[in-house]
Amino acid sequence: MRTALTLLQVDTPLTARPATDRMDDVALAAAGDVRAFERLYRAHLPRVHGLVRRMTAGRDADELTQDVFVRLWQKLSSFRGESAFSTWLHRLAANVVIERFRTDTTRRQRHVDGEGIFESLPGARSSGDLAMDLETALEKLPDGAREIFVLHDVEGYKHQEIADLLEISAGTSKAQLHRARMILRRHLRPASA
């Protein structure tokens, strides 16, 4: 029966991300109000899921998205309002994904092997829509390069912020970003690369 309800509730209107954070819900949820927390979940799910899915190339994205919201519930009381709630939440989400990368040895291996795997793939057929092709190409990037590309170019993080999150130098972040863009270009414009 839970399944049936879940299926009934998959629809969400075509909306832009929430313009303002509902501070009252943040406060209520921090005080233990589950309904307020569910509203926060619904409001922020699309953005968080997009971030998690892109950073992980879709692998375990649903499970990790749930991890993010469980962590959010545990940490809500430590939110001090020093940044916008959404900014704070997205950093928390990025951290959850990064921790998973660190502990997952299969993924670590892929960090090393990733580019080789990518290069052996034939160039994808173009859909004519660069954004859509980019989504596909992103999944093929090595994990390390993809993390940085998503954080910098999709999510708008600065190199120093990425360096702090990933415990690397800003210079490494810049180099990996360039590497990611160059691989993407090779995939998206096979003829010119």
Rg (CA), the chain: 18
Q: Running DSSP on this structure, what letter comes out for residue 163?
A: H
10 Å CB burial of residue 121 (0-12, 13-18, 19+) is: exposed
Q: Which of 57, 65, 118, 143 binds other proteins (CB under 8 A)?
A: 65
Distance between CA 24 and CA 18 in Å, rounded? 14
Three-class SS state of 129: coil
Candidate list 22, 49, 91, 108; residue touching other proteins; CB under 8 A = 49
3-state secondary structure 98-120: HHHHHHCHHHHHHHHHHHHHHHH
Q: 10 Å Cβ neighbour count for 25?
A: 19
Which of 30, 46, 60, 123 contacts other proteins by CB under 8 A?
A: 46
Binding mask of the shown chain, residues 4 to 43, with x at each position contacting other proteins by CB under 8 A: xxxxxxxxxxxxxx----------------xx-xx--xx-
Q: Which stretch binds other proteins (CB under 8 A): 19-27, 101-109, 161-169, 171-179?
A: 171-179
Residue among 107 and 159 whose Cβ is closer to other proteins: 159
Burial of 171 (0-12, 13-18, 19+ CB in 10 A): exposed
Residue 91's Cβ-count burial label (10 Å; 0-12, 13-18, 19+) is: middle
Task: Write down the least CB distance from residue 111 to other proteins, Å.
Answer: 20
Q: Total residues at the site for other proteins (CB under 8 A)? A: 60
Residue from 153, 164, 168, 172 in contact with other proteins (CB under 8 A): 153
Nearest approach in angstroms of CB 45 to other proteins is: 7
Q: Would you say 134 or 168 has its CB closer to other proteins? A: 134
Of the pair 6, 106, the CB lying nearest other proteins is at 6
Interface contacts to other proteins, rule CB under 8 A: 1-17, 34-35, 37-38, 41-42, 45-47, 49-50, 53-54, 61-62, 65-66, 69-70, 73, 127-132, 134-135, 149, 153-154, 156, 159, 174, 177-178, 181-182, 184-185, 188-189, 192
